[in-house]
Structure 1
């Protein structure tokens, strides 16, 4: 039962990252103007961060309590879950607030017209790299949780 629940939660977590990062966010930017899409995606990413904050301890607890795992595999799964959580927290607590401040300072002209556009673009690129890393760690977590 613990192994099944461990796999289910890992799949929910990784699947959420994949769905928001590779389906919902690009879709929002495809059909909405940039400001609206940014607001919608920002809400989705905030909810994804909270989901990560909720699921990480549950996955870690299930890994720790799993009798079907040897010590090496248990450590590996814990490192994967902690890595996913670290990526999520880095974006949520570090990059998103910095990007929001730049967006706010830019005013109605928009970020692209702002002198801080380069900084915003760099932060956005870093967040994309972290979401890519989180999605890869999630794939490995799901595959190794079986």
Structure 2
């Protein structure tokens, strides 16, 4: 029971941080600051911190699911109930791993490429450079991964 509550707390922290930064803080930066390059730099910093928080939450969730493997099924002897528990645990692990994968691909794959384009663009910003289209494509892929992760985060919280 305690492990389930801790899992819920970690899942809520993970989901809430995704939603707060991705759908509240970052859009507010671009809507508020007149300097879009500065807004992008601050947003990139927020997403960097979010990536490390996501990695930590995924690791904690995986450990909690693994540790709860024997404690939550104690006293359950019916075969179908046990099979349902195993299937549920596998699905939970898969969702956590997909969310972690989205973070890793975005943070270690896409973000460095986007950062390099921003750095090469100079003071005018990437949207004023020749790399505008390439940055837009990378940003679109990153946004798609973030959407997938956000939806899976909702599922994760609901299933806890």
Where on the TM-score scale, by shorter chain, does this alignment land: which range?
A: over 0.9
Matched, 1:115 2:119: no
Query: Is there any run of 5+ residues in structure 2 with no aligned partner, and where?
Result: 74-84
Q: Quote the residue 1:103 is aligned against.
A: 118
How far apart are residue 108 of structure 1 and its match? 2.0
Residues in 2 aligned to 1:82 and 1:117: alpha-carbon distance in whole angstroms: 32
Which deviates further from its counterpart, 83-92 or 60-69?
60-69
Residues in 2 aligned to 1:51 and 1:13: alpha-carbon distance in whole angstroms: 7
Matched, 1:135 2:150: yes
Q: Quote the residue 2:101 is aligned against.
A: 86
Which of the two has higher C-alpha Rg? 2
Answer 1 or 2: higher relative contact order, Cα 8 Å, separation at least 6. 1
Residues in 2 aligned to 1:112 and 1:7: alpha-carbon distance in whole angstroms: 40
Residues in 2 aligned to 1:120 and 1:7: alpha-carbon distance in whole angstroms: 36
Residues in 2 aligned to 1:61 and 1:80: alpha-carbon distance in whole angstroms: 14
How far apart are residue 62 of structure 1 and its match? 0.8
Residues in 2 aligned to 1:110 and 1:59: alpha-carbon distance in whole angstroms: 38
Q: Quote the residue 1:58 is aligned against.
A: 60
How many pairs were matched up? Answer: 145
Matches within 5 A, 1:37-56: 37-56=39-58
How far apart are residue 106 of structure 1 and its match? 1.2
DSSP-derived class of the 1:102 partner: helix
Q: Quote the residue 1:22 is aligned against.
A: 23
C-alpha root-mean-square deviation of aligned residues, in Å? 1.1
Residues in 1 aligned to 2:128 and 2:7: alpha-carbon distance in whole angstroms: 47
Q: Residue 106 of structure 2 contacts residue 145 of structure 2 at CA under 8 Å; is this kept in 1?
A: yes
Residues in 2 aligned to 1:80 and 1:51: alpha-carbon distance in whole angstroms: 17
Matched, 1:9 2:10: yes
Q: Residue 37 of structure 2 contacts residue 126 of structure 2 at CA under 8 Å; is this kept in 1?
A: no
* Deviations 1:40-82, CA, capped at 9 Å, x for gaps: 1111101000001111111011111223361111111111111
Q: Residue 62 of structure 2 contacts residue 93 of structure 2 at CA under 8 Å; is this kept in 1?
A: yes
Moved over 6 A (4+): none
Q: Residue 21 of structure 2 contacts residue 47 of structure 2 at CA under 8 Å; is this kept in 1?
A: yes
